[in-house]
Amino acid sequence: MSYEKVSQAEKIIVGTKQTIKALENSQVKELVIAIDADPGITAKVIQTAEMRQIPIVKVDSMKKLGKACGIEVGASAVAIIK
């Protein structure tokens, strides 16, 4: 379900650094995190989303999340933009 949501979203941001910027600018509607990603990489994104009360959806695979984004590599965090 969440993979479909990402692939069908009009605008997404892929990657932790860009996602954090978007969260800080109040552009994010929903955050998707891959649970197999390194927690050291995703911790700040999750913390920022929780502070701003953005819904967080967890998916099982970085590889599948990257594929849903249309990229060849895995993605640890994806922001669905408003």
Q: Which domains are present in the chain?
A: 2-81 (3.30.1330.30)
pLDDT at 2: 83
pLDDT at 1: 61
Q: How far is CA 39 from CA 10, 36, 43, 55, 72, in A?
A: 28, 8, 6, 18, 22
| Host H or E run for residue 58 | strand 56-59
Identify the segments of the chain with pLDDT beneath 70.
1
Q: Which amino acid is at 29?
A: K
pLDDT at 73: 96
Kindly report the pTM of this predicted structure: 0.93
Q: For the beta carbon of residue 82, count every other beta carbon within 10 angstroms.
A: 11
